[in-house]
Amino acid sequence: MPDGALLRLEALDAYYGRSHVLQGVSLSVESASVVALLGRNGAGKSTTLKAIMGIVAPAGGSIRFDGEAIHHLASHRIARRGIAYVPEDRGIFASLTVEEHLSLTLPRAVTRGPSSKEAIYEQFPVLAERRRHRGNELSGGEQQMLAIARALTQSPRLLILDEPTEGLAPIVIESIAGIVHSLKGAGLTMLLVEQNYPFAVGLSERVYVLGKGRVRWEGSPAALEASPEVAATWLGV
Amino acid sequence: MLLDPEFLIVQTLNGLQLSALLFLLSIGLSVVFGLINFINLAHGTLFMLGAYFALSAARAFDSFWLVLLVAPVGVAVVGGLLYLVLLRHMQRADPMKQVLVTFGLIFVGLESVMIVWGPLPHTIDVPALLAGSSSVLGQVYPTYRLFIIALGLAVFLLLYLGLERTRLGAIVRAGVDNRTMVAALGIDIGLVFFLVFCLGCGLAGLAGVVAAPVFSIFPGMDMSVLILALIVVVLGGPGSLKGAGLGSLIIGIADTYGQVLVPELARVTIYALMALILIFKPAGLVPVRSGH
Ligand SMILES: Nc1ncnc2c1ncn2[C@@H]1O[C@H](COP(=O)(O)OP(=O)(O)OP(=O)(O)O)[C@@H](O)[C@H]1O
Ligand SMILES: [Mg+2]
């Protein structure tokens, strides 16, 4: 690990049946930084995240976390290395209460520290009010908060977020953005997929633009702002 | 006849007894199906195996309670081995293959019990403690059959508490809902699933053990209950404990009354009832999945 990247994807290939969805994707996420992965619908953003989590098996290339190859590992082993995942559909369990969602990954009742339930309720007061409610009784915004909160119970070293603001009301987006900004402030490393361009650009240190399964552009948010043709071609903004 | 209270009490108790057996049998099938969309047609074979294990265990030990413990554990071990050597590799196979392989297992089971225990029917005695009769609402009824009803109820309550009040239970419920997400949280859902599978096999075995003193033990005794158990799973909604309980109750009672009231149409009434319920509740009485 000569360069200190926490996560490094190299020439990643992935297929759904015959369709070649990821065609040699390479990217890296430095420790304590936020990386945004942008692109149009169907570009392969979610698939990239699923490949990292071992949900989609890569057909070629490598994924290294903290210098060790993880692309051959089962999903739960990848998560145990310290990667937490908030999927696009939020992955909330309909029949589990908020409290149960936050207890799933805590074998021993963790009562102290930033990943304890109490600390998380402090950070997400909405969830504290709803602790006895089941997943299917929560609003979209509450589900999104719960998905992030649940990820935090894993004390992750890397948090992966797939479109956390998608389909939410502006006021809810604001509070989600506030939470993600405070996580960044606390030094958490994040890989963020977003279609909400201003949010992503305002948060990240580095941007990758994905188009039709390939990385089409990479650079700083400022450089992206200065290249309107990239945004026009690959993001449609 | 229907208004005769004597008839009603006895037939309802008979129905509840069948419900209890169906519940023990179908709960494993249902949760396994809910967790991995895998339908194990050989689940009934484990029921039959439970009865045969009880037969051998009853010859080896004096205590019925020991039999009640040992035989289901034996069945759970057989189920676990079956899973490790065969079924585990078939989770991603297409459903037709699963049906064929587990259907094939039914015949392997049939042949095996014929080789070990012979083709003739066997019976085992009702344990002395439960041998007599009791009075229910003024009606005399075999105590052992009441015991079966109570056991079904007790297992239901234990499973309910286990599912609703423990972390493992929450993981199982989460797994039925969205297995991929559970794994992505760092939980070895495969291991959890294996434990659940073994428990389900053990409960099918338990159903066979307690059924043994009431019905005769013979090769093929699993077929008719397997069909009823499959109906219970579909009716209740795969993966749902309450669904399996409710489905067992409905099918147990309906089948019992159907057999005595319209014996010519016995099974037809069950299928008609199933079809009717599924028209109004296509995902079963207690659907659990939020759609993944
Ligand atoms: N399970 C699947 N089976 C087959 N094809 C799929 C599957 N999931 C996604 N695809 C296809 O793979 C391509 C990439 O999908 P992916 O979900 O990674 O896109 P995305 O960049 O996340 O898009 P969006 O912004 O809409 O979420 C798309 O063409 C999509 O239609
Ligand atoms: Mg996506």
Q: Which two tokens stand for residue A210?
A: 């994905």
Min distance B184 CA to chain A CA atoms (Å): 5
Nearest to A161 by CA among A32, A49, A56: A49
The answer to whether the CB atoms of A104 and B185 lie below 8 A apart is yes
Query: Residue A21: CB within 6 Å of ligand 1?
Result: yes
Q: What's the domain count of chain B?
A: 1
Q: What CA–CA distance (Å, rounded) separates A59 from A13?
A: 5
Cβ-based neighbours of B235, under 8 Å, separated by 6 or more = B243, B247, B250, B251, B274, B277, B278, B284, B285
Task: Give the tens place of pLDDT for each residue, A17-65.
Answer: 999 999 999 999 999 999 999 999 999 999 999 999 999 999 999 999 9
pTM, full prediction: 0.88
In 3D space, the residue among A188, A206, A195 whose CA is nearest the CA of residue A123 turns out to be: A188
The pLDDT value recorded for residue B2 is 65
d(Cα B257, Cα B125) in Å, to the nearest integer? 27
Q: Which atom of ligand 1 is nearest to the CA of A44?
A: 18
- pLDDT of B291 reads 45
Select from A9, A22, A37, A46 the residue to mutate for testing ligand 1; criterion: most ligand atoms less than 8 Å from CB.
Answer: A46
Give the span between the Cα atoms of B215 and B123, in whole angstroms.
8
DSSP three-state, residue A218: strand
CA distance A103 to B165: 12
In a domain, A11, yes or no: yes
- Residue A47 Cβ inside 6 Å of ligand 1? The answer reads yes
Pure H helices in chain B: 5-36, 43-60, 64-85, 95-117, 143-165, 167-177, 179-184, 189-211, 222-236, 241-261, 266-280
Q: What confidence tens digit (pLDDT) does each residue in B117-131 have?
A: 999 999 998 988 899
For atom 17 of ligand 1, which residue has the closest CA?
A46
Residues of A in contact with B178 (CB under 8 A): 91, 93
Question: Is B287 inside any structural domain?
Answer: no
Measure the CA–CA gap between B2 and B76, rounded to whole angstroms. 41
Q: Which chain B residues have a beta carbon less than 8 Å from that of A54? A: 183
**Comparing C-alpha atoms, which of A189, A223, A184 is closest to residue A207?**
A223
Give me the helices (H) in chain A, please.
Answer: 45-52, 75-80, 98-103, 117-123, 125-129, 140-152, 170-185, 197-203, 221-225, 228-230
C-alpha to C-alpha distance for B127 and B131, rounded to whole angstroms: 6
A-chain residue closest to B289, CA distance: A94
Cα–Cα distance, B102 to A141 (Å, whole number): 44
A215 touches A228 (CB < 8 A): no
Decide if B210 is inside a domain.
Answer: yes
Return the axis-axis angle of helices B5-36 and B43-60, rounded to nearest 10°: 110
Q: Is the pLDDT of residue A3 over 80?
A: no
Backbone angles phi, psi at B253, to 5 degrees: -70, -45
- Indicate if ligand 1 lies below 6 Å from the C-beta of A45: yes
Task: For B200-235, give the DSSP string.
Answer: HHHHHHHHHHHHTTTSPB-TTTHHHHHHHHHHHHHH
Instruction: Answer yes or no: is pLDDT of A1 > 70.
Output: no
Residues 6 or more apart whose CB falls under 8 angstroms from that of B82 comprise B42, B105, B201
Domain ranges, residue A212 = 7-95+156-235
Q: Which of chain A's residues have a Cβ under 8 Å away from the Cβ of B182?
A: 104
Residue B283 in contact with partner chain A when CB distance is under 8 A: no
- Pairwise CA distance, residues B34 & B172, whole Å: 10
Strands A60-65 and A5-16: antiparallel
> Which residue among A9, A19, A56, A160 is best mutated to probe the pocket of ligand 1, counting the most ligand atoms within 8 A of its Cβ?
A19
CATH number at residue B256: 1.10.3470
Q: Is residue A151 part of a domain?
A: no
Nearest CA in chain B to A74: B183
Residue A88 touches partner B, C-beta closer than 8 Å: no
Say yes or no to pLDDT of A131 above 60: yes
What are the beta bridge partners of residue A27?
A: A9
Domain for residue A179, yes or no? yes
- pLDDT at position A110: 52
* β-sheet bridge partners, residue A214: A211
Return the amino acid letter for A223.
A
Residue A67 maps to a domain: yes
pLDDT attached to residue A111: 54
CATH of the domain at A201: 3.40.50.300
A46 touches ligand 1 (CB under 6 Å):
yes
Contact B189 A85 (CB under 8 A): no
Please, what's the largest Cα pairwise distance for chain B?
Answer: 59
Question: Under DSSP, is residue B124 helix (H, G, I), strand (E, B) or coil?
Answer: coil
Q: Report the distance separating Cα A137 and Cα A151, nearest Å.
A: 20
Separation of CA A147 and ligand 2 centre (Å): 16
Do the domain assignments include residue A103? Answer: no
- A125 in a structural domain: no
Chain A residue numbers with beta carbons less than 8 Å from the beta carbon of B181 are 87, 91, 93
Q: Which of residues 147-186 of A touch B (CB under 8 A)?
A: 150, 154
The percentage of chain A sitting over the pLDDT mark of 90, rounded to a whole number, equals 84
State pLDDT tens for residues A57-81: 999 999 999 999 999 999 999 999 9
- Residue A133 in domain: no
Query: A154 contacts in B (CB within 8 Å)?
Result: 185-186
ipTM of the complex model? 0.93
Residue B67 lies in a domain: yes
* Residue A213 in contact with ligand 1 by CB distance below 6 A: no
Find the domain containing B215 and state its range: 5-280
Q: What is the mean pLDDT of chain A?
A: 92
Could you give the CA distance from residue A201 to residue A222 in angstroms, rounded to a whole number? 8
Report how many domains make up chain A.
1
User: Given CA atoms A209, A212, A213, A214 in this order, what sign does their dihedral have?
Assistant: negative
Query: A46 in a domain, yes or no?
Result: yes
Residue B204 lies in a domain: yes
Supply the DSSP symbol for A136. Answer: G
What is the SS3 assignment for A62?
Answer: strand
Low-confidence ranges of chain B (pLDDT < 70): 1-2, 289-292
Q: Which of A12, A16, A161 to mutate to test the pocket of ligand 1 (most atoms within 8 A of CB)?
A: A16
**Cα separation, A171 vs A90, whole angstroms:** 19
